[in-house]
Amino acid sequence: MDAFFAIVGALKVAGLAAAALAFALPVLHLALAALSPRRPLLPILNALSAAAEAVSTVVGRGALALALAMVLVQFAVVVMRYVFGIGSIFLQESIVYMHGMLFLLAAAFTLMRDGHVRVDLVYRTASPRWRAAVNLIGVYLFLLPVMLTIIAAAEPFVAQAWRVLEGSKETSGIPAIFLLKSVIPAFGVLMIVQGLAEAIKAALELTGDRRAQAPALDADERLV
């Protein structure tokens, strides 16, 4: 277990260093664009944005399957309980697991598709450049600090859960609470990854280098 935590610690340091470098690139692109018509960072930014959104898409679409799984499991629990008189704590706990994983793991995908609720009066009717400026500021002043705080706050109790391989308090429950708790920092990491893509798209919009917008949310994707 000590070796496992050593590897996790090394990955954390490497991840923080990579994130610091990656999040500096959109700002550097803006600075260079103000000085010269050349765009030396454009290929790198496009590649980073595409990679980040690919991660969000794969994880998000996988998480969407949990919505159907929750309905089916809940139906099975009700039928077993009220038709056959059989209870299953394992299945009941699995619904809690899937519910938490659905919303946490699909959050970055929803951000990518601009599906989160915005409480504002002018954003939707503002110009693309104005919205890009708001998004860029929001990523650096709100999204990034909040996600880093969530990861830092979750680290101690997630680490403790892994040390003891924490499981359900019920004998027949799911013996994997340590995995469920791990979804919290995973949520933070996924949001930071997508936040990088949002910062890049905003910077490219401000410099006139933005590619085509992603399509709007499909009806089934609006579930999250």
pLDDT digits (tens, 9 = 90+) for 190-212: 999 999 999 999 999 999 887 64
Q: Read off the pLDDT of residues 72-127 as tens digits, 9 standing for 90 and up.
A: 999 999 999 999 999 899 999 999 999 999 999 999 999 999 888 777 778 778 88
Asked whether 23 and 45 are in contact (CB, 8 A), the reply is no
Q: Read off the pLDDT of each residue in 46-56 and give the average, rounded to a whole number.
A: 95
What the block records as the tokens of 86 is 């059989």
pTM of the model: 0.89
Q: How far is it, in rounded angstroms, from Cα 204 to Cα 216?
A: 20
Q: Please, what sign has the CA dihedral across residues 163, 168, 174, 180?
A: negative
